[in-house]
Structure 1
Amino acid sequence: MSEDILRKQRSTTGINDLELPEVDIHNYTLAEFERLPRPAFPTDNYRNADLNRLIIEETSYNVREMKEVHDANYQKLNSGQRCVYNSVIDSVLAKKGWIILCTRSGGCGKTFLWQTVIAYLRSERRIVIPVASSGIAATLLPGGRTAHSRFHIPIKLDQYSCAGIKHGTDLAELIKLTDLIIWDEAPMQHPLCF
């Protein structure tokens, strides 16, 4: 574009051998950019998503498939599970930021409940980070990881321990955009993990 500026100014002024200093060419070029129509800009989720593989991973689900999983699972929830489901979904949609603790003995359907919640939120294109305290439990959650792995929690903990999440990293950006974190088997963790 800057190459055309000198030609345009020569044409406008009628001076065929007009010479302009670099600073004038630079300023005329900026003025031309100002005249261009302004494009619409995407939201931060999409602006950063092409650079952040973690965001890409957490938003690359087949929405139709997630909706089908949710609809099939939702019909099978019992009344207690539906109560927790409704509380979690209400908290997420209203951005209440609640911490909901769901404790029951093994085999009562907590993992099934979390799978249903995850399927619903992902079908709505929301970001859910499912983690668990053990590797076995993490494999039961769709896209699940251990909490130590996802949040860079040190294995040896003391009162000075800190998660290894650095400001401005892909993980930090993912956490900012996250709608829900599900931490299965959280009571099994040392209190300093939190």
Structure 2
Amino acid sequence: MRHRHGIKSVDKCLRDYISPIDPNRSSRPFGGITVVFGGDYRQTLPVIPKASQGETVGSTLNRSKLWDFCEVFTLRQNMRLYSGNSDERNKIIAEFAKWQLAIGDGKVHRITENPKDDGLVDFEIPEQFIICGTDNSIQSLFDITYPDFLSNMSSYCYLRSRAILTPTNSLVDDINDFMIEKIPGKTHTYFSQDSIDDNGGEDNDFDTAFPVEYLNLINMPCLPKYELQIKVGCTMMLMQNLNQILGLCNGTRMIVTACKKNSVECEILCGSNVGSKHLIPRIDMVPTDTKWPFEFKRTQFPLQLYFAMTINKSQGKFLDTVGLYLPRSVFSHGQLYVVVSRVTSPEGLHILILDDTGCYSNVTSNVVYEEVFYNLPKLDDI
């Protein structure tokens, strides 16, 4: 979801463009041009580092003055869930859809009171979705999410229809490192070239204060890792827009077909360009919003392993099988709803929860900022 300030900037630009043509339209929202917005306020809100609940809610579009000029249309049918072949099956799907909406609206039955009123609610997950495995929790999740992995790893339909989701990038790295060990074959390791540009004159003190070894340790969600390990047959996700016409967009899922010295050959797994092969080169990647006092540049393949990904990154995906790994609870509005609404059937959802002692549990937390729904129309039950 976009920050309301970004939408306001588009509004101002369109008014400026249209004013020389028709001065009367400069006072109308977006210069009198019809603009269509799409989104779900049950899903995650704009990401603002270290923001409070009020700042996050205040960044949404329905807190903007432009919201008064918007006409809201609501969708009432869950298009991800496949219809059943019998009345009993359709009843199960309808109940699952209502449970999804209850999580998204924060209406689940809480088992503990929350005096802080920060949107955090503890509740029980139905036993049908819970994984209770062995001492190796990641292995248990892998066995259920990727059954008969070695026999099916050549099936593109198998690979693109399932994923493991978890709240943080550190957990994603742990799972992906575990998964790549399961793939037979040689591991190809690619190292990035990291550099900085302090723009501070000839002395260049930043080179001394921040050596290359330190830059190699920097990990950001928007950048590939310094040490990228790839095997032929592993699934990857593209992290940058390279060529939208050819389907090489941020978030595109691909499978590695060859590892070359200066490029990685990948085949697209989904979308209108499924089956097409492309050579992915190293590119310069510069994060725009960082805490560092210098301009950091990483030259690396814009790829990351796709077996596991963060909950926020999974928005917009359709998956037949989802494994949710929760060694700690979700921490942001809508994250749990995003997970349970990715699957196409109730049987495709599997949740592994660990409590503070590391034991398996069926209790987790749901975070919903109810005030974000205050000026939205109420939906009838599905």
TM range (shorter): under 0.3
The structure in which a higher percent of residues are helix is 1
TM-score by length of 2: 0.17
The structure in which a higher percent of residues are strand is 2
Query: Rg larger in 1 or in 2?
Result: 1
